[in-house]
Amino acid sequence: MTRRLYFEDAFLRAFASSVTARREDAAGAWLGLEATAFYPEGGGQPWDTGTLSGPGGACRVTEVRLDGDGVIWHRAEAAPGARLPETGEAVEGRIDWERRFDHMQQHTGEHILANCVHRLAGGFIHGLHIGSEVSSIDVTLPGGETRLPEETLDEIEALANRRLAEDGDVVCRIPKPGELAALPLRKDPTVKESVRVCAVGDYEMVACGGTHLRSAAQVGLIKILSAQPARGKMRVFFLCGLRAARYFQACHRSLSRVGAMLNAGVEQAPERLAALQAQMGEARRGLAALRGRLAEALAPGLTETAGPLPDGGLLVSHRLDGEESDLMEHLAQALIARPGIVALLTAPSADGEACLFARSQNRGEDMRELLKQAGARGGGRPDWARGVASAADLDAAAAAVLSGGG
């Protein structure tokens, strides 16, 4: 069994130990140590990384696991020119502290956030997942609800940050026999023996085997990003500590840039942007109306030069230039508003040749089949189909219509 130095001092960054076992599997070489400050993955908290240095040089610790016998295994990769330590050799370990401290901020912050969710919404927290960028908890809410009002989430976040300002001590310990049952735990432990309890101030207490900070204020900041339904529960995404600070930096920088572009202050930017979007909507509607009128003006000229069909209808085959490509849909609508029209329109696009084949309602050709005959990728309805081809064979489609195909 490995002595867990991270339980004795979660702020221990370097330590001395010795190799007690060594094994290999498909993942690589694993070292068991007499004592370690490396935290193994567990309880939603990722493992620590760092280095082990021995007589043969330094090696990189890339993964840490705890087995059923209480042995903590370290997957190790030797540095170039070095060898892995052998059983019985002394080693010096060093934790990647930035990673460890980040995990402790997320984990301690989760205790406080979970307590606030429990107090203000009656939520039961099922677990923690500390991702590389964002952390999350799953919550069972009363009555099977999977959402909380935005105002309630704001209250939870505000209370959590007030708890940080109170700076309660974080105390982790294994209670004496018979003491555990009397403790006001937020939820029942998932293990039966050697239950380790983590308390924050005088308001939060829960069984937990992770690493934690010394006081609530060291969390720094808690920010709820979102909350959404997930498998019958509510999943809350959040950031703590330096992650939250970097998030606010990025948000403020982006919003400041948006404000500068809109010639508005940060507070006025959303209102100014909404007004601009409204103006753009009006402009788009006006532009669409102009395109419709232009298409209606162009349609008679195209029908005058259209080719006759055997049944007396007209075949309009036309390629728009780049500046006219936005007119394609309006022009097709204007053409097929007349009876007896088959319109085969193309225009240049970034992906190749854009095609729009349409017909009047009194005709029976299938425009989707014509797209295939033109070598285009796409689809639509029998009377209206769009696609893209590297070089649309408009002549082949026109010939198919003239011959009665399609």
User: Of 39-48, 258-267, 278-287, 299-308, which one has max mean pLDDT?
Assistant: 39-48
* Structure confidence at residue 390 (pLDDT): 62
Whether the per-residue pLDDT at 186 is higher than 60: the answer is yes
Let me know: does 64 contact 72? Beta carbons within 8 Å: yes
Q: Which residues pair with 238 in a beta bridge?
A: 135, 224
Over residues 113-140, the mean pLDDT reads: 96
Over residues 308-327, the mean pLDDT reads: 83
265 compared with 249, residue with greater pLDDT: 249
Over residues 41-49, the mean pLDDT reads: 94
Whether the per-residue pLDDT at 406 is higher than 60: the answer is no
Nearest Cα to 324, choosing from 346, 353, 301? 346
Question: Distance between CA 140 and CA 349 in Å, rounded?
Answer: 50
Our separate counts of H helices and E strands in the chain read: 8, 21
* Structure confidence at residue 362 (pLDDT): 93
Which H, E and C letters describe 283-297, residue by residue? HHHHHHHHHHHHHHH
Question: Distance between CA 298 and CA 334 in Å, rounded?
Answer: 9
H helices within 180-314, ranges in order? 241-261, 269-304
The three-state secondary structure class of 384 is strand
Question: Distance between CA 353 and CA 286 in Å, rounded?
Answer: 27
Whether the per-residue pLDDT at 372 is higher than 80: the answer is yes
Q: Which residues pair with 359 in a beta bridge?
A: 342
- For residue 265 the two structure tokens come to 């202050």
- For residue 367 the two structure tokens come to 């425009």
* Structure confidence at residue 290 (pLDDT): 85
If residue 36 lies in a helix (H) or strand (E), which one and from where to where? strand 35-36
Tell me the pairing of strands 3-4 and 35-36: parallel
Whether the per-residue pLDDT at 396 is higher than 80: the answer is no
Q: Which pTM value belongs to this model?
A: 0.77
Distances (CA, A) of 61 to 9, 89, 93: 20, 16, 9
* Structure confidence at residue 305 (pLDDT): 86
Whether the per-residue pLDDT at 266 is higher than 70: the answer is yes
If residue 160 lies in a helix (H) or strand (E), which one and from where to where? helix 150-166
pLDDT classification of 112: cutoffs 50, 70, 90: very high
Residues 139-172: pLDDT tens digits? 999 999 999 999 999 999 999 999 999 999 999 9
| Overall residue count recorded for the chain in this entry | 406
Work out the mean pLDDT of the chain and round it to a whole number: 92
C-alpha dihedral sign at 106, 111, 115, 118: positive
Nearest Cα to 30, choosing from 38, 17, 39, 21? 21
* Structure confidence at residue 404 (pLDDT): 63
Q: Is 332 exposed, middle or buried (0-12, 13-18, 19+ CB in 10 A)?
A: buried
Over residues 372-380, the mean pLDDT reads: 84
Which residue in this structure is represented by tokens 């005709």?
363
* Structure confidence at residue 102 (pLDDT): 98
Residues 74-86: pLDDT tens digits? 999 999 999 999 9
The three-state secondary structure class of 315 is strand
* Structure confidence at residue 228 (pLDDT): 97
The three-state secondary structure class of 216 is helix
Question: Distance between CA 66 and CA 317 in Å, rounded?
Answer: 72
All domains of the chain in start order, with CATH: 3-95 (2.40.30.130), 100-254 (3.30.980.10), 298-402 (3.10.310.40)
pLDDT classification of 354: cutoffs 50, 70, 90: confident
Question: Distance between CA 57 and CA 187 in Å, rounded?
Answer: 46
Give the gyration radius of the chain's Cα atoms.
34
Cα angle value 182/186/192 (rounded, 5°): 60
* Structure confidence at residue 171 (pLDDT): 97
